């Protein structure tokens, strides 16, 4: 977009005494997109300073890329891969940042009764989420066997050495359930410190916004309708909040017409059922990123009960039957054709 700042032009030969002060530049939104952490990220900065905005966007992007390299499940040089490679062999000394992040995930596991569990990566791959109809689910013995190494309680942390140890060979951790949220949080912190007073970062369903849009209004965030992909079911206007959505309508298979999504219950080994979409709203995008998976696994009743116990955290859920449920502090605006759709509509996380 071109700059909206405008200055008054002096007529040729006009007296300097008649010159008017130049109007202050008006803020506008600058946007940059990138493929990070296996997903599409969009960074938006609101500023009246072109140079500052572009520097901040580059800094936010670089920080997210750095975190991806540090904690990736796939990058052979990451510290997470090293932890997994040495499972059952010896502890791995990691950066304080990685140690602290893993420690926070274990606290969320405890809070959710194990519904969120980074050791889910220890499970055997027995499902194919190919959006097709399958004849049946795997047999119960196969499912039970697939989760035998899962268990967040097994992860051993040593605060004295900042080491992480997985005691069983074949155990693995994967921070995918929280890493995008952490990346968005760190990127936004850096952009704020650089002087960006308003912005929005969308990490493929993990949205955090702060400040205002260029016109002074809040950020309008849309929540998708699982029954009709690429459409909006409701929206809300927020600032200084995270809105994080997880859904099972991007990666799934069906059996007898019933949907089975890619979010696995670590206790049972079966895909979590009962919900099509979970949206968490809270000030901390990292926490919201983990809680949406936890609520998905817990299901409608237990999931709502968990959120209703937590301060300053709300959620909206869409059940398998299409019913919309909200936590006790949540207010949504149902979408209809009269409401303008100038919104950020995040895809559910993969």
pTM: 0.87
For residue 109, give the nearest of 276, 282, 256, 291 by alpha carbon: 291
Helices and strands (H and E) in the chain: how many: 6, 17
Q: How confident is the model at residue 154 (pLDDT cuts 50, 70, 90)?
A: very high
Query: Per CATH, which fold does 29-48+195-334 belong to?
Result: T-fold (3.10.520)
Where do the structural domains in the chain lie, given as residue ranges? 29-48+195-334
Distances (CA, A) of 244 to 7, 101, 258, 286: 41, 19, 25, 9
Instruction: Indicate whether 345 pLDDT > 60.
Output: no
Sign of CA dihedral 226, 230, 234, 240: positive
pLDDT at 235: 87
pLDDT at 197: 95
Span 209-245, pLDDT tens digits: 999 999 999 999 988 888 777 778 888 899 999 999 9
DSSP strand E in 129-179: where? 133-134, 156-158, 163-165
For residue 44, give the nearest of 221, 176, 169 by alpha carbon: 221
Mean pLDDT over all residues of the chain?
A: 89
Q: How confident is the model at residue 313 (pLDDT cuts 50, 70, 90)?
A: very high
Instruction: Indicate whether 112 pLDDT > 70.
Output: yes
Count the Cβ atoms, other than its own, within 10 Å of residue 336: 8
Which residues make beta-bridge pairs with 29? 46
């Amino acid at each position: 977009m071109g700059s909206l700042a405008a200055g008054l032009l002096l007529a040729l030969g006009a007296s300097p005494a008649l010159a008017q002060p130049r109007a202050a530049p008006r803020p506008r939104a600058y946007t940059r997109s990138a493929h990070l952490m296996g997903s599409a990220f969009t960074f938006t900065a609101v500023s009246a300073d072109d140079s500052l905005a572009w520097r901040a966007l580059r800094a936010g992007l670089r920080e997210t890329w750095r975190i991806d390299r540090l904690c990736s499940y796939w990058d052979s040089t990451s510290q997470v891969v090293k932890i997994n490679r040495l499972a059952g062999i010896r502890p791995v000394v990691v950066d304080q940042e990685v140690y602290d992040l893993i420690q926070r995930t274990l606290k969320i596991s405890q809070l959710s009764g194990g519904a969120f569990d980074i050791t889910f990566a220890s499970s055997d791959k027995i499902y194919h989420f190919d959006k097709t109809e399958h004849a049946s689910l795997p047999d119960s013995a196969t499912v039970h066997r697939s989760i035998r190494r899962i268990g967040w309680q097994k992860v051993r942390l040593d605060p004295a050495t900042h080491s992480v140890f997985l005691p069983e060979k074949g155990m693995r951790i994967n921070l995918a359930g929280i890493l995008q949220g952490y990346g968005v949080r760190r990127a936004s912190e850096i952009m704020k410190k650089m002087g960006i007073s308003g912005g929005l970062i969308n990490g493929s369903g993990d949205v955090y916004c702060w400040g205002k849009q260029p016109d002074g209004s809040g950020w309008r965030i849309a929540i998708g309708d699982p029954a009709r992909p690429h459409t909006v079911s409701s929206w809300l206007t927020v600032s200084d909040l995270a809105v994080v959505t997880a859904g099972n309508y991007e990666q799934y298979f069906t059996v007898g017409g019933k949907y089975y999504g890619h979010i696995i219950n670590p206790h049972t080994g079966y895909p979590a059922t009962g919900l099509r979409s979970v949206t968490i709203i809270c000030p901390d995008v990292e926490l919201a990123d983990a809680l949406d998976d936890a609520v998905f696994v817990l299901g409608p009743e237990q999931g709502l009960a968990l959120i209703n116990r937590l301060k300053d955290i709300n959620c909206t859920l869409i059940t398998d039957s299409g019913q919309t449920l909200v936590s006790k502090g949540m207010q949504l605006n149902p979408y209809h054709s009269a409401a303008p759709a100038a919104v950020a509509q995040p895809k559910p996380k993969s």
